[in-house]
Amino acid sequence: MTGSRRFSQAISEGDGISIVVRVDDAGTARAAEDDGAEALALHAAVDAVRSATSLPLLWRPPGSPGRARAAEADACVLAYGELEHEDGRLEQAYAEALDHGLECALEVRNEEELEAALERLDPEIFLLAAGTGDEGPLERALELLQDVPAGKLAIAELPVSDREEVAELERAGMDAVIVPAGNVAELVGRSAPDV
């Protein structure tokens, strides 16, 4: 079943930016899907999440693609900064992810990591982590987005508090943003259902 839900397809289809919601239980996963999320991000294995939702799952903890596969994820994250100096380890982990049938998002924190990742792997999906700097996380992600080549997918991971920040990311061309569970309907741009 892993790999049957294409993460890249979910975040690139349709108009506008996709909301990827961090979840830690099956109920939150169902609620996120009902509120309009297009994918889910797991920070740990979640019991029954696969049966609770049809959305693609992104395994967020950097590390072994085998752990992502065991969690029934459809895609995983590799952190360039954790693997850059280990001779061949980055390429090995990337190949392992693909061998497991997973899509792979490469996390980069700055322009240098982005350029090196393109040269070494040329990945299709980038996760733009708002690293340290003088600017705020939103401005930093937007600046980094300018260096992502056309045709590649870009996901922002930063604290987003309202629809206007999501709209700013969307206008700049970001494909998706990872947000905490909660006000998903508002961030997607529709009001929460009346109960």
In a domain, residue 172? The reply is yes
Cα–Cα distance between 87 and 66 in angstroms, integer?
20
For residue range 70-115, list pLDDT tens digits in order.
999 999 999 999 998 878 899 999 999 999 999 999 999 999 999 9
In a domain, residue 195? The reply is no
In a domain, residue 117? The reply is yes
Q: Which H, E and C letters describe the chain, residue by residue?
A: CCCCCCHHHHHHCCCCCEEEEEECCHHHHHHHHHCCCCEEEECCCCCCHHHHCCCCEEECCCCCHHHHHHCCCCEEEEEHHHHCCCCCHHHHHHHHHHHCCCEEEEEECCHHHHHHHHHHCCCCEEEEECCCCCCCHHHHHHHHHCCCCCCCEEEEECCCCCHHHHHHHHHHCCCEEEEECCCHHHHHCCCCCCC
For residue range 1-60, list pLDDT tens digits in order.
344 469 999 999 877 899 999 999 999 999 999 999 999 999 998 889 999 999 999 999
In a domain, residue 121? The reply is yes
In a domain, residue 2? The reply is no
In a domain, residue 23? The reply is yes
CATH code of the domain covering residue 152: 3.20.20.70
In a domain, residue 66? The reply is yes
> How many domains is the chain built from?
1
Q: What pTM was estimated for this model as a whole?
A: 0.90
Domain limits for position 164: 7-188
In a domain, residue 1? The reply is no
Asked if pLDDT for residue 148 goes beyond 60, the answer is yes
